[in-house]
Amino acid sequence: MWQRVIIFSCLLWVLTEAGAPCGLQLECVPQGLCGLGSWNLNAGTTQTHCQRWETCCHISQVLPVGAPVNCGYSNPNGLDNTTPAHVDQAKPNEFPWIVALMKQKRQFFGAGTLVTENVVITAAHLVHDKSVKDFVIAGGAWDLNELFRPTVVSRSPARIISHPEFNNITGANNIALIILDVSFEMKPYIGTICWPNSEFSLHQERCVVAGWGIPNPDVPNYSFRQKKIWLPIVSKDLCEAQLRRTELGRDYQLDPTLLCAGGERGRDACQGDGGSPLMCPIPGHPTIFEFVGIVNGGISCGRENVPAIYTNIMQLKPWIEKHLNEEINKPYKTFPIYNIDYD
């Protein structure tokens, strides 16, 4: 009898390993690797052979992406203890996926987010009228006055893909992909952020935006040292109600590709922060972040009860994945997917 128990236990262990089948033409895959609108056994039942961080997915819907890799790991203490960070200032290389977009290698005009070794996501309004010869991407930057540091690595764009339905008036579909000519090598000071796994981030109380924009409308110069501002995520209904009290008018409607954050006096993304990421910590992992938004636009900045508008990354995920999958030569890994035990 005890031999049968051992055999059954071994079989159960095999069935619950990552990648095990979970039904006829069904397979356990990491969360985020199952196509949108596809079969998800975990959502409909409490009984599954998959690990808790996996989804039971029909084999026809498994996304063609690489193996899970580390992503979203910040450097909460910074990487340079000799340089103190001030209030509302990021520590040196605290967010290693934020890159600076530079004209003639020295004039800052916006930020972007590294999502794979050679793909940067930014706002379309920054690059839709530019060619690949107009700018470079500086990874590992923190102080724009110290781009000569060995931690700063520059790359040139090979291709710019702006969303064809970008609307410069409403901010809808304000997103662009920058494909680099040479991939970044992953280092403690250069890394990738996590692709959002679900809409749960938008139900968190506060997330963070970081970039080099001006601190407030009264200060005309960019923040040479990267700033960071913690902001509340604002629901669609509340955002529309608040923005309808502004010059946008009582008929304003938030486009589905947008989300809102902020609305606190003196705390906001501002001019020069365009393209910077809005990032949310993963529940239970306060130093690991996922990418939920792009600084898009707003009415002035830092006005109470007037939230800023961000491009909604989760809503544009299908468009992003489509273009990544269409790349003919792929010297990069596809979007990192993280495995998390939520207990």
pLDDT, one tens digit per residue, over 264-318 is 998 888 888 999 999 998 877 889 999 999 999 878 788 999 999 999 999 999 9
SS3 annotation, 268-282: CCCCCCCCCEEEEEE
The SS3 call for residue 7 is helix
Check residue 309 and give its pLDDT: 95
The model's pTM:
0.76
What is the structure's pLDDT at 255? 96
The CATH number of 199-315, from 3.30.360.10, 2.40.10.10, 3.40.50.12780, 3.40.50.720, is: 2.40.10.10
**Which two tokens mark 260?**
């809102």
**Per-residue pLDDT at 45:** 41
pLDDT (0 to 100) of residue 297? 83
Give the total residue count for the chain: 343
**143 three-class SS:** strand
Token pair recorded at residue 68: 């899970």
Encoded tokens for 15 = 């069935």
In sign, the C-alpha dihedral spanning 82, 83, 87, 91 is: negative
Give me 151's structure tokens: 């931690």
Where are the chain's structural domains? Answer: 2-61, 98-192+318-326, 199-315
> Which pLDDT tens digit goes with each residue over 50-79?
776 577 888 777 754 433 357 899 999 999
Q: Do domains 98-192+318-326 and 199-315 have the same CATH topology?
A: yes
Give 10-residue mean pLDDT values along the chain (343 residues).
39 38 77 54 51 73 52 92 83 97 90 93 95 96 93 94 94 95 92 78 79 84 91 93 93 95 90 93 86 89 92 94 70 45 35
CATH of 98-192+318-326, one of 3.30.420.10, 2.40.10.10, 2.40.100.10, 3.20.20.370: 2.40.10.10
Q: Which residues contact residue 123 at a Cβ distance below 8 angstroms, ignoring those fewer than 6 apart?
A: 110, 174, 175, 176, 274, 275, 294, 295, 296, 311
Q: If phi over 0 gives left and psi between -120 and 50 gives alpha, with beta otherwise, what is residue 249?
A: left
Q: Distance between CA 25 and CA 42 in Å, rounded? A: 15
